[in-house]
Structure 1
């Protein structure tokens, strides 16, 4: 499933840097300098003050600040994956947008379909894995942030039980659950993680209900891979701790937020727009993480001791330097069915991470429905 992405990642990872690499370049005719580049974004959920969509919109705004009058941006929010997405993407291309970002896994196929009909338009499939001559893909190593959040959770839990509210059991989500659990168990060997699947990315009511159910099962710290801040709000209401995801959520959970795993898209979006403007854009795959500045952990809550903060930040520096690799095994790592999934002294390859279909020991739940 991920064959195309994996093949390109090896090359892409070689040229990633804190300032996104100009290696994604080819000779092409630059746009007229007097005309701003029209750039469009398609959002899978409503634009709110926090969350997945919020972070991508922050990236759009950062691009505007960096490039000024050279770009003119627009966005369409709350677009369902599937037929609705194809209609919206096609409409944006027809409106003269020359660069279109589609940040949701379910937008991948609609993006590819529209791209065939608009070869002069550049498309960026964020979290997708299929490329085309005018379609690039990009994603972040969210699991690196999840591992660090797990360390914080392991230090702060009193019940040794964490919860995890998740949308769909795709590899990206499984990576996060496993990394979080490994991070937590690296400092608390008794730790367990209970997972609830929602089959939806954005449904505040379902997200809240799942969190409340977990809080009734000895969970005192909770993480989530969904699009709203409902889980954080539930933690605030119940006096529990939660991991902010996508963005800092202390505004929603001033007492609840333990730490936030934040995604930073401004650098990538700015670089890709600049590449279209100067004619250097080309298709490719990027998978960046802590080292490249695409994933950042911080924004600790008021209840987190400085010693815990310092430990998490130190481990973040270790990930950035390559000293710490979340899916490297000091001892055999087993899945929650008893099978060895990472042998002692070895690390998972990018290909193995991208095709992850298992849940690690310590997780109560299934990798499929």
Structure 2
């Protein structure tokens, strides 16, 4: 079954009458179906091939950097490096979710190496923040990904903005992608800030040391081998591409989807499905490309239901989840790449306008408050 527009499935009659939308048993039924389909195993060969390919491409980018010398074509290398570092960040994300290796400790070691030593951000900060998001996606007061910042995701936050930030907020949908050029720098800053300020952070000194060495060597090489102006331009382009790619990969997953009231009573399956959006193409080949480009995050519904599921298994799992949602009248949202970004921009503009005008925030209805 293929979808090319955002859709809430119109399902046939349920085949399992004892399971209803909002029923806690929903997740266990789907989990059993996934297990019976043999989709819970690791895909080490897939990740090994991906790691080899990315390492080879990184080596090619370094070789290109050395060979080009004092040339403004270096900015192409900077852009390519921004893309490659995002791909390595995807692998760190998957290691954090225990998708790659069998052992949790080995996944953590791999994830920490990729995050600290390759990408230059804190693995512990990412784990702390992302674990909260997975537990309570789009939940007001609980999901750190919708907390008050330069961009406001809730009308109440938009009304709090003042001065230049208020001007930005009122236009934040249209300014979304330009603002993402600063997201790369923000990710580095927030992760390092967390290591300095968090009351409890595992391996704080080790992470700070590794990041300092990685960033120090990277910046030093730029300014040793390139003129000052070109070095700054290289760094700016790399961070801008990294920020746009990272932010552009995570934004379509939940932004513009229903917001959950803080004290709502909602089962795990419904919470994850109703707040997530899948980004899909017209063909299986197109979805394979999207899975590579988005690091598997285009299958956001399935990723939230089964965080430890290897990326290569998500396409097959999505067929099971979609069929189940259709049978049990549970809304399952799908959008094309263009439609997903349009929905994000429209949503952010509506929230931004609430700084001046009343706006009713989307919410999940039908669930009891505490």
TM more than 0.5: no
Larger Rg: 2
Instruction: Identify, as 1 or 2, the structure richer in helix.
Output: 2
Instruction: Identify, as 1 or 2, the structure richer in strand.
Output: 1
TM-score by length of 2: 0.25
